[in-house]
Amino acid sequence: MLILTAKDIEKFYTMPEAIAADKQALKIYTQGKSDVPLRINFDMQKGQCLFMPAHIKGKDIVGIKIVSVFPDNPKLGKPSVPAQVMMIDPQTGEVCAMLDGTFVTQLRTGAVQGAATDLLARKDSKRAVLIGTGGQATSQLEAMLTVRPLTDVAIFGLDANKGKQFTELMKKRFEHFSANLYFSENLDEDIYQADIITSVTTSKEVTFNGDLVKPGAHINGVGAYMPDMHEIPSNIVEKADIRVLDTKDGVFVEAGDIIDPIEQKLVSKDDFLELGDLVLNPQLCRQNEQQITLFKTVGTAVLDVYVGYDIYLKAKEKGIGLNI
């Protein structure tokens, strides 16, 4: 069995590779060539354990992500949300790899936004806004910078001190992109100018003013994953010309910022595509420079398993990781 830590994966696996893998994973999902059972939750005395398996039929790839939520873990010097991705050898049925699940989740979540932004945002997009500075924010920023030649990215968080510290870290980490990264002191103005807007929060209230979004902008809703969370304004969902989801099955039952406008009859379920539809038929992507496009993701195990297996194969080729 090959053990791959976050540091191992960072050595060789790139955001462009993850974006390409996510596109393929969601194409396979939309084609009905994967099995993704409902998530299994176990409540324990000190926390919760979640099991998320997936099977990629054509490639005979099977894996599972195990995530635990144990709020008291930091008192023990351990992460509150430990996670692992485990892969099965299709020839023997043995566990062939265990990957750092937290890192894989961050990577594939950034990459799926990058995939959507690549397929939907204007090719000449220059200005972007990132709302949220939590654990998923770094990969979200990297994905936007990867797929478009951005000149300016405004970063916003409710905690200004934390937001400014995060911005300074990102300037150093992504200086090779040559984009001007700055903390937003005027979110409304930055939204008004933005070609790409990515919100990665668990907010129960909208995170920006939808009336300020300009024609031609692309919006990503990444953070809100529960019915009571609502980071994307309903008027944006209503007026978007193209609305795309990672999976309809997931978003329609989990994402409040999509569930609510459907219940309010501002839009119907028939008004949405899956990202896999765009990969299969590029003609469904942006048709002109004035269209407002929207992407919403809540995540799916097919991303964890497909990306996890891609990482595993490339690590084996390069001799990276610990064999036990």
pTM of the model: 0.95
CB 258 within 8 A of CB 228: no
Confidence band, pLDDT 50/70/90 cuts, at residue 69? confident
CB 279 within 8 A of CB 33: no
> Using a CB cutoff of 8 Å and minimum separation of 24, what contacts does 166-170 make?
166/133, 166/137, 167/133, 170/138, 170/141
Per the structure block, which two tokens stand in for 282? Answer: 């590029």
Average pLDDT over residues 123-148: 97
Per the structure block, which two tokens stand in for 82? Answer: 């430990």
Which residues fall within 8 angstroms of residue 281, CB to CB, at 6 or more apart? Answer: none
How high is the pLDDT of residue 45?
94
In this predicted structure, which of 11-25, 223-237, 277-291, 303-317 has the lowest mean pLDDT? 223-237
How high is the pLDDT of residue 198?
99
How high is the pLDDT of residue 83?
94
**One-letter identity of residue 107:** L
With CA atoms as reference, report the closest residue to 125 among 110, 156, 109, 147. 147
- Residue 224 pLDDT exceeds 90: no
Question: Check: CATH 3.30.200.100 for 2-105+302-323?
Answer: no
Q: Is 123 exposed, middle or buried (0-12, 13-18, 19+ CB in 10 A)?
A: exposed
How high is the pLDDT of residue 38?
85
- Residue 187 pLDDT exceeds 90: yes
**One-letter identity of residue 32:** G
How high is the pLDDT of residue 81?
84
Per the structure block, which two tokens stand in for 220? Answer: 């990503």
3-state secondary structure of 9: helix
The reply to whether 2-105+302-323 and 121-300 are identical in fold is no
Q: Give the other-Cβ count within 10 Å of 252's Cβ.
A: 15
Determine the CATH number of domain 121-300: 3.40.50.720
Domain residue spans of the chain: 2-105+302-323, 121-300
321: left (phi over 0), alpha (psi -120 to 50) or beta: left
